Amino acid sequence: ETQSRDTGPMLVALLALFSTASSAALAPKPPTRRGVLAAAGSVAAGVKAASAASEPQSNSKPWVADARIGADEQYTGSLPYDPWAHSSLFGLVPPPVAGTWSHQELVDAARGGGVASVQIAPQHDVVIAVSTSGRRYATPMLDDDFPTLLLETTRPDGSYPFAVLPMDESRAALRSAAGTALQASLLLWLADLAGLLPWDTTPYASLEQREKAQRERAEGARPPRKSLGQLLSRLLAARGSTKQAREPMSDELRRAFGMASELGARAKATAERLEPAAAAEVRAQAVELRERAAKLRFRAKLAARRLQREYEPAWVTPLTAGGELPRLEQLLRPFRVWTDGEWAQYIQLSPLAGTVRRRFRDEMGVWRLSAPFSRFYGQPVYILRRCIA
């Protein structure tokens, strides 16, 4: 039978070649290149079909980690070894979990001598049982129920049918550290959403936007609120408005609202009595009065700025500072270099090492970069002008 299987493909190939040669000999025209190629293709297809028919069929399948395997099943995959009982990385990585056993299945397998060792998993409340073939099976079980399992599988002589291994403390510590790191990351994420972190984590679209935000924050501007902070603010505002709406209105407020409604009714009645031309004239006068008020406000601001410039003293330089100038190490804190009893001026180094800004704000006021003192000390020095009277 084996000899007939081996000679079958050869006979098919010889018959195909013989038929091709005879057809070519009987043809009135010489064989073309296309005809030779077609004949060779038919011969190759016939040989392949004959070989496939002669080979025994195999039901082997590649190993897939998701396809769990039972304790009584045999591995029939394409790997030369059983992957469910094969460790990796020189034995540091144990084999994958082959399947799940119930409590009773584990007890039955242990009493039948099919369990080599049991061990509490690092994640707790799970027992890992290693069979005699080297496969690992997981059994959901509380850590407090593990002594009960040992009592159920104890032999009459007091021994166990398997080895009881202690829990791997190093893996348990590694898992605990990973859980702590995850919780800390979650807390930091929530604190960032609430805007409680001291550093800026806003994803800016460009470096220019980031520098602009840093300058505004140095001048005292509040950073933009994050999503969680906005949500809390809205909830608190809604709660406060609801509480105010539920509170009863006092007598003073009732009288005030009554007077306002009465005045509004009178104004409405007066406007209805006025003729359209008179109403248009009143509106024009109101517009003119608003324009005059805006001009007066602008002039008042200019006058206030002019008075402020005349009233504030000039900026101090190393030549106009009163007394001996401080040493460089004394400028780590604000140092007063000039005063007239009403105003005082202080100088200090940048509070952030390696960072040069045009100005920044702290509890004393707004500091600005002083070019004369910076040239004198060879480092960025900031100056502050403050009223002390």
Looking at the DSSP bridge assignments, the partners of residue 322 are none
Q: Convert the pLDDT of each residue in 205-214 to its tens digit.
A: 888 888 888 8
Residue 308 has pLDDT above 60, yes or no: yes
In angstroms, rounded to a whole number, what is the distance separating the alpha carbons of residues 383 and 386?
10
CA 99-104-109 angle, to 5 degrees, is 65
State the pLDDT at residue 324.
Answer: 85
State the pLDDT at residue 2.
Answer: 40
In angstroms, rounded to a whole number, what is the distance separating the alpha carbons of residues 35 and 189?
74
In angstroms, rounded to a whole number, what is the distance separating the alpha carbons of residues 322 and 135?
87
In angstroms, rounded to a whole number, what is the distance separating the alpha carbons of residues 389 and 386?
9
Q: How confident is the model at residue 342 (pLDDT cuts 50, 70, 90)?
A: confident
Percent of the chain with pLDDT over 90: 15
Cα–Cα distances (Å) from 264 to 34, 260, 279, 290, in that order, read 104, 6, 16, 21
* Cβ neighbourhood burial of 336 (10 Å; 0-12, 13-18, 19+): middle
Q: Convert the pLDDT of each residue in 241-251 to its tens digit.
A: 555 545 555 55
Q: Convert the pLDDT of each residue in 156-206 to its tens digit.
A: 888 899 999 988 888 888 888 999 999 999 988 888 777 777 777 777 788
In this structure, the strands spanning 136-140 and 126-131 are: antiparallel
| Predicted TM-score of the model (pTM) | 0.37
DSSP character string of 246-308: HSPPPHHHHHHHHHHHHHHHHHHHHHHHS-HHHHHHHHHHHHHHHHHHHHHHHHHHHHHHHHH
Residue 47 has pLDDT above 80, yes or no: no
In the structure encoding, which two tokens stand for residue 50, read together?
């004959």
Residue 375 has pLDDT above 50, yes or no: yes
- Number of residues that make up the chain: 389
Mean pLDDT of the chain: 75
User: Is residue 381 within 8 Å of 374, Cβ to Cβ?
Assistant: yes
